[in-house]
A and B are shown apart, each in its own frame.
Chain A
């Protein structure tokens, strides 16, 4: 079975450019999460969706960040304009949330972003 698929795996861009990261969750999962991982701050939750609806975006750093989930099989995280401090590994994760929400997450391989 395919896991969570993220693209691109690596992105190098210049400050001020728009960056779009993409994620395809595991089929059948109804929740999708975007995390950011840095050495300084660890793994931080940016936003999560349940049934394609944003539930909690309190972790989104600022208005330069936006996320969408137009359907159950696709989500994007956009940064516009990008800044060097946005350099990090961005992970997408998904799970199925029903009566029992263990919180177990299935992660993609991550998108490594470098903003020069």
Chain B
């Protein structure tokens, strides 16, 4: 079993929809929880990171962490075609990050 499991997708939604992306993990040592966005043929870039359980908001993006359930989510409000990309969750401890396999999102105009 992988340390980080991510809902595989792909997801296709209409513009303006709310998107929910989810990951679970098994390693209790993970300290930081991150979401990266990867456009086609590009490297991943960090969207958000959180440390503790709870919600963190940044514009249209909200990251949610539930350490007791070992579950993290990323919500995208008012999704835009420019949000179309692969979203990777990642979790780190001791300086190393472990990634989920990614969920590919398409937002249709």
Mark A residues whose CB is within 8 Å of B. 4, 31, 33, 35, 42-43, 45, 48, 50, 55-56, 91, 93, 97, 101-110, 112
Contacts and interface: CB of A to CB of B under 8 A. Distances in A.
Size bracket, chain B contacts:
20 to 34
Majority secondary structure, A binding face? strand
B95 A31 contact: yes
Given A45-B97, A45-B98, A103 B90 contact: yes
B43 A108 contact: yes
A48 B31 CA distance: 19
Contact of B43 (A42, A45, A56, A91): A91
Contacts of B51: 102
A43 B89 CA distance: 11
A43 B96 contact: no
Contacts of B97: 33, 45, 103, 105
A62 B99 CA distance: 21
A42 B88 CA distance: 10
B96 A110 contact: no
B4 to A, nearest CB: 9
In the A-B complex, list the 10 residue pairs whose CB atoms are closest, starting with the nearest: A103-B92, A107-B43, A42-B101, A43-B99, A103-B97, A101-B95, A103-B32, A102-B32, A107-B44, A97-B95
